[in-house]
Amino acid sequence: MAKVVIDAGHGGNDPGASGNGIVEKEYTLKISQYIYDRLRELGLDVKMTRTTDETLSPTERVNRVLNAFGDSSDVLVISNHINAGGGDGAEVIYALRNKDTLSNLILTEIENEGQNIRKAYQRRLPSDTSKDYYFMQRNTGDTESITVEYGFLDSTGDDVNQLKNNWENYAEAVVRAIIEYLNLTYVPVEGGNYYTVKSGDSLWSIAKKYNVSVSDLKEANGLTSSMLTIGDVLKIPVIVEEEPKENVYVVKKGDSLYKIAQNYDTTVSEIIQLNNLTSTALSIGQLLEIPVTTITENTYTVKSGDSLYKIAQNYNTTVNELVNLNNLSSTALSIGQILKLPSTTTGMGNTYTVKSGDNLYEIARKNNTTVSDLMSINNLSSTLLSIGQVLKLPITTASSTYTIKSGDNLYKIARENNTTVSELMRINNLGTTLLSIGQVLKLK
């Protein structure tokens, strides 16, 4: 039975490298535990140098390696580490006594998972070049001892995100490499991105099952023919679907370039140029890229479930204003259509949409203005209102207090400030309507 020792680098008082939310000793333990569990599932005899966050001296670590299965050359030692120093990508260090076969298999499998790779290499001790530089290779007898550096936690490239998000994939890559190196049968993780070929399988049937193309399958597995062997393990490529662009329109029955251009506030020529069209003929289901227009605060993009009435209500305007402003020939809307909204704030405050039961006096009182001001800025010839009518409200600079002068009374103050006597008495805690010159009243 194949024998493997998995070493989780660092630990306890020795955290290893750290940065960008990655602590080396934590990731090496996670990766080591994963490889340990998977190799045991695949029938290998496996041991770990540490299974908890404990401190190990180099001597203790080496002793645990050698005490696991002895120092025989058929014992594999995988020491897991995370690199630092500003580089990018994975690398593997192997002992002077060994060949680079396993190291390069590991790098190849890690590269298949999307990680950049650097190199597999040996390093000699400067004081005695016949010996390995690193103690994990130098002091582990005749075992085949390698160190895997999965990436740089201080990389300016993509290593940081890859280590955080893909460490399990990299650990599985090491498992595959070990199994291949030992000439054993690899069984993919259940639900993983690999498939073991069975009797009756073909590239077409496997591609159909996983919703990929035959060419993608062949490329992912380096196949030059469609021949399969029972027991072969195929990597299933992960197809990353691009999210549909917001400025793409799907042609529907009855559409024309003119209609689409009108709905999206662009021109037929701009759509033709952007999509490299040779004619104005369209096909149902055809995708058209719509020219991106600068969206200002006074525009609205139509969403599913919208109607002109709902949009008008939400933006304190009317259906008629929206129709006129956007030159609409009907109230029908298309999802993604951009509507211009009337500007309601030039020289004015907010707007108010008339509801059932409203009258100009109540609206003026609630908004600290007067009926005459409302009629003036809205060009009203009468006090009659319509439900849904949008009224502009003037910007007011009225003070929130009032100082009593000679001749004042509560009725007069209330009328001039669009409130009521009872409201003034309530907010000022007055027990009588008598006032004193110089007395300060709250108006709000």
Measure the CA–CA gap between 73 and 205, rounded to whole angstroms: 43
Shortest CA distance to 313 belongs to which of 305, 322, 304? Answer: 322
In terms of pLDDT, which residue wins out, 348 or 231? Answer: 231
Measure the CA–CA gap between 393 and 353, rounded to whole angstroms: 10
Contact 443, 399 (CB under 8 A): yes
> What pLDDT is stored for residue 246 in this prediction?
56
Q: Tell me the average pLDDT across 129-135.
A: 97
Instruction: Determine phi and psi for 74, rounding to 5 degrees.
Output: -90, 10
How does strand 18-19 pair with strand 22-23? Answer: antiparallel
Over 90: is that where the pLDDT of 370 sits? Answer: no
Instruction: Give the highest mean pLDDT range of 160-164, 192-196, 252-256, 257-261.
Output: 160-164
Instruction: Give the highest mean pLDDT range of 61-65, 217-221, 242-246.
Output: 61-65
* Count of C-beta atoms within a 10 Å radius of residue 45: 14
> What pLDDT is stored for residue 292 in this prediction?
66
Measure the CA–CA gap between 428 and 440, rounded to whole angstroms: 9
> What pLDDT is stored for residue 414 in this prediction?
79
Over 80: is that where the pLDDT of 96 sits? Answer: yes
> What pLDDT is stored for residue 191 in this prediction?
59
Q: Which helix (H) or strand (E) holds 8?
A: strand 3-8
Measure the CA–CA gap between 215 and 382, rounded to whole angstroms: 75
Q: Tell me the average pLDDT across 328-342.
A: 80
Q: Tokens 């140029």 appear where?
A: 273
DSSP bridge partners of 23: 18
Q: Provide the token pair at 282.
A: 């369209």
Over 60: is that where the pLDDT of 398 sits? Answer: no
Over 60: is that where the pLDDT of 408 sits? Answer: yes
- Identify the structural domains of the chain with CATH numbers, from first to last: 3-181 (3.40.630.40), 194-235 (3.10.350.10), 244-293 (3.10.350.10), 351-392 (3.10.350.10), 401-442 (3.10.350.10)
> What pLDDT is stored for residue 245 in this prediction?
53
Q: Is 62 exposed, middle or buried (0-12, 13-18, 19+ CB in 10 A)?
A: buried
> What pLDDT is stored for residue 396 in this prediction?
52
* Count of C-beta atoms within a 10 Å radius of residue 259: 14
DSSP bridge partners of 299: 340
Treating both helix axes as pointing N-terminal to C-terminal, what angle do 101-112 and 159-181 enclose, rounded to 10 degrees? Answer: 130
How does strand 401-403 pair with strand 194-196? Answer: unpaired
Shortest CA distance to 189 belongs to which of 202, 179, 199? Answer: 179
9: DSSP letter: -
The reported pTM is 0.51
Measure the CA–CA gap between 81 and 65, rounded to whole angstroms: 16
Residue % of the chain over a pLDDT of 90: 39
- Residue 340 contacts by C-beta under 8 Å, 6 or more apart in sequence? 265, 298, 299, 325, 326
Shortest CA distance to 143 belongs to which of 184, 183, 113, 98? Answer: 98
* Count of C-beta atoms within a 10 Å radius of residue 153: 23
Q: Tell me the average pLDDT across 89-118.
A: 95
The rounded mean pLDDT for the chain is 85
SS percent in the chain: helix, strand, coil, step 5: 30, 20, 50
Measure the CA–CA gap between 233 and 186, rounded to whole angstroms: 7
Q: Provide the token pair at 387.
A: 């439900």
Measure the CA–CA gap between 368 and 356, rounded to whole angstroms: 20
pLDDT tens digits, residue range 5-49? 999 999 999 999 999 999 999 999 999 999 999 999 899 999 999
3-state per-residue secondary structure call for 32-69: HHHHHHHHHHCCCEEEECCCCCCCCCHHHHHHHHHHHH
Q: How confident is the model at residue 349 (pLDDT cuts 50, 70, 90)?
A: very low
The residue type found at 296 is T
Contact 335, 301 (CB under 8 A): no
Residues in the chain: 444
First-to-last CA distance in the chain?
A: 87
Measure the CA–CA gap between 28 and 22, rounded to whole angstroms: 10
Could you list the beta-strand ranges (E) of 113-189.
Answer: 117-121, 124-125, 128-132, 144-152
In terms of pLDDT, which residue wins out, 208 or 98? Answer: 98
Over 70: is that where the pLDDT of 288 sits? Answer: yes
Contact 61, 17 (CB under 8 A): no
Instruction: Determine phi and psi for 195, rounding to 5 degrees.
Output: -140, 135
Question: By three-state DSSP, how is residue 211 classified?
Answer: coil
Q: How confident is the model at residue 231 (pLDDT cuts 50, 70, 90)?
A: confident
Q: Tell me the average pLDDT across 353-359.
A: 79
